[in-house]
Amino acid sequence: MADNIDIRCVESVGATEVYLSARPQRASAPRQQAEEAFAGIRDSLTASGAAIFQERVFGSTSVVDEVLEVRRKVYGDICDGVQPSYLTGKDEAPDRLFGVQVHGIAAGQPGVIRLDDRACGRVLRVDGRGYLALSGIHDEQETSAVGQARRMMEKAERGLKQFGADFLSVPRTWMWLSDILGWYGEFN
């Protein structure tokens, strides 16, 4: 396994959760950073018998397309078409992949969730319980922050309803919203 991968496992009766964090070498080019990170993740998941349940990629806006292309190629047959959440920062450094976090689960292969004909999440059933994770929910047409948040919540609700759930079934959400403090009242 690669030196740049931190792995933590949590075992239970029905499943083993595998948490991976990849930290690419800072001095290398974005393509090389991505190849190194995703190869380490792929090898770690394969060795533990886990599948990706949720994934976050942290990088510069300028390298999104290149990083996601490398991800698809390096992952090969473990790539199920669900794009990771790709997060950028306000003061991002140019042309850089900062890191990747993966929550993998060894308990069968998760099913893919589709919204608006786009793979955007995964569902897994373990010991009579269902687990659902959505990623990268946004709206291509909406430009306002409040409108984006509203559309995101509507889409998430549709995703939940596909599996007989609603927001009362959601124990945790992670929402990355630009300048959230500037419009927090409207968001709530």
**Residue range 39-53, pLDDT digits in tens:** 999 999 999 999 999
Query: Global pTM?
Result: 0.88
Domain ranges of the chain: 5-109
Q: Which amino acid, 68?
A: L
**pLDDT (0 to 100) of residue 180:** 85
**Residue range 116-131, pLDDT digits in tens:** 899 999 999 888 888 8
| pLDDT confidence bin for 106, thresholds 50/70/90 | very high
Q: Is it the case that residue 135 has pLDDT exceeding 80?
A: yes
Q: Does CATH place domain 5-109 in 3.40.190.10? A: no
The whole-angstrom separation of Cα 81 and Cα 72 is 8
Contact 104, 56 (CB under 8 A): no
- The distance between the two most distant Cα atoms of the chain, rounded to a whole number of Å, is 47
Range among 68-72, 94-98, 162-166 rated most confident: 68-72
Residues 6+ apart with CB under 8 A from 30: 59, 60, 63, 66, 67, 95, 96, 97
